[in-house]
Amino acid sequence: MKTAVTDSGIGGLFVVEKLLKRTRAGKILYLADNAHSPYGDLPEPVLRRIVKRNCEKLVAMGAEAIVLACNTATAVCIDGLRVDFPDTVFVGTEPAVKPAARESDILTVMATPLTLKQPRFRALLEKTGAKLNLPDCEALAYLIEKHYPDLREAEEKTERLLAAYPREKLGAVVLGCTHYACLSKFIESRFSCKVFDGAGGVSATVMRRCAPLDGNRSVVIEATDPSDLPRYLELASAICKVPVYPADDRPYMRR
């Protein structure tokens, strides 16, 4: 099945990397919506319009399945997208709160403010019955998007956020934004806790609903702001460790 992945910037590349490792993924189209990053700062109606327009573009390019590699876009948009595009498979990204709750009865959930406001997300958290810590992660995704692979500012902010909780009350840390995946090892090392993200659930769903994927292992990248495309190509090559091509030079799914 011809599969695309989209996010507001580099965060979804960490999901693509997991798909390449954990599934029979072949060629994956990645749409980096860097023109509107980060999604967590946008009003909901604006985000819905942007994500729908991006999905229209991906469907026009031949995508039969679209992975929303963004917790915020999933929480706000996925139900409407499934109505608007009934012939397209949509796979959302949600934090791994269920496996985290099996590990600890205290969850420290790092997510964007917009994600935390969503009824879908709050219901997911409440079902665990765990005690919840919800640090204010505003601007964290922006720091990662702007500076990656330099994570010094993002790690300093993460340090301040999590150090506010006594070690015994930190519990398991759940990453509710795909951008935060690059902080996983830092958090585990600095706070000696287990860290969970949604990539495993995405991989399992893609295997079940979308595999086998199409073509040789590679990533084809489209960016909504082409001026930053060279950076995304470089980052995708480093993160995914497969051949990476710009969509204009290597048309995807049109043959």
Residues serving a catalytic function are 70, 177
CA proximity to 75, closest of 39, 119, 22: 119
CA proximity to 133, closest of 97, 100, 173, 99: 173
Whether omega for the bond prior to residue 38 falls within 30 degrees of 0, making it cis, is yes
Distance of alpha carbon 194 from alpha carbon 120, whole angstroms: 24
Distance of alpha carbon 140 from alpha carbon 159, whole angstroms: 11
CA–CA–CA angle 101, 17, 153 (5° rounding): 75
| Residue-by-residue DSSP string for 184-219 | HHHHHHHH---EE-SHHHHHHHHHHHT-S-BSSSEE
Pinpoint the alpha helices (H) of the chain.
11-22, 44-60, 71-84, 97-103, 113-117, 119-126, 140-147, 152-163, 184-191, 199-209, 229-240
Please, what sign has the CA dihedral across residues 141, 147, 14, 90?
Answer: positive
Distance of alpha carbon 232 from alpha carbon 9, whole angstroms: 8
